[in-house]
Amino acid sequence: MGIVKEIKLRVRNSLKLRKSKRGSLINLQNLPPDCLERIFQHVYTDISNENIIASTITNLNSLFMCAQVNKLWCALSIPVLWRRPFSIALDGKKNAQLINTIISFLSEQEKNILEYQKLKFEPFTSHQFNYLQLIRVLDYDNFIKSVHRWVVRYPNDCKDFTKSRMLTQLLGKVLLKENALSGFKTFNYFRVRTYDNFNFIPLNKLSPNNSFDWLSQLTQLEYRNPHRVNKMNLNEFLDFFSIITSNCNQINNLSLDVRIDDFAIDHSISKLLLN
């Protein structure tokens, strides 16, 4: 992990050459692309367990600075930055930049809806990458939180939570649509208890045209539901796994955290576990 710390120091010092322990000079800009790519991946995953959020933000900042060095570094670091954009729920300006980028992929008609709802966003003129197609890991709960914070905290200060739900559905649909071909590799579905009085949005409410092609490449699924599954929410629970069993054939890593009241695990879940 020494090279990870080294590259962070280089970035913070405008990429000045530093001496290695052996006394020779290392020019990071001349490293082969595959080496740089692995270094950037280590920069992103070099997380401190003591403060995961602060450590993650620091690493994101380091990668963002790497993306500004030259075209090669940009081409290698941007996919790492966007591989898992909702690993944590950001806030403030950083979250605003993330959500504004996704908003830029909406149609003009959909953007007009936001303007009509008096939601402030920064227009994009062009994209160097299709950022949404770079996403490989989707943290569903953090995605919902991030959109909600964009609406009710910054850059907007809206108390009408229906606007938050509306925007979540718009952005969710465009995000899933852009990943219809490449698909996510990992999907983390963490059912929240209550978040700022904002109701959780079931998965089938976001999929465009009720299509789940974006699940076709899924290899890892983590599902957490702190609510006990009972007669009140059983349909939501079964609907989710019905979608999974119908559209996912490549899952090889499955993690379930479910509390069930007086119900045997449904056949749909059993089928998934046996595949």
- Asked if the peptide bond before residue 202 counts as cis, ω within 30 degrees of 0, the response is no
Does one domain contain both 149 and 262?
yes
Does one domain contain both 158 and 234?
yes
Does one domain contain both 180 and 256?
yes
The domain boundary, picked from 83, 114, 144, lies at 83
Q: Is 182 helix (H, G, I), strand (E, B) or coil?
A: coil
Q: Which of 167, 179, 188 is nearest to 216 (CA)?
A: 179
For residue 259, the one-letter residue type is R
Does one domain contain both 201 and 135?
yes
pLDDT score for 21: 44
pLDDT score for 159: 83
Does one domain contain both 79 and 92?
no
| Averaged pLDDT in 10-residue chunks for the chain of 275 residues | 53 44 54 85 74 81 86 91 90 91 94 93 83 93 91 89 90 91 88 58 78 89 76 74 85 82 58 59
Does one domain contain both 28 and 158?
no
CA atoms of 272 and 275, how far apart (whole Å): 5
Does one domain contain both 67 and 105?
no
The domain boundary, picked from 64, 83, 102, lies at 83
What's phi and psi for 226, nearest 5 deg?
-70, -20
C-alpha distances in Å from residue 89, one per residue of 53, 57, 136, 239: 9, 10, 17, 26
The domain boundary, picked from 83, 102, 124, lies at 83
Does one domain contain both 109 and 240?
yes
Does one domain contain both 49 and 114?
no
With 0.85 as the threshold, say if the pTM is over it. no
Does one domain contain both 271 and 147?
yes
C-alpha distances in Å from residue 255, one per residue of 22, 75, 187, 189: 45, 33, 11, 10
Q: Could you list the residue range(s) of the whole structural domain that residue 20 is in?
A: 1-83
User: Structural domain tally of the chain?
Assistant: 2
Does one domain contain both 230 and 273?
yes
pLDDT score for 199: 61
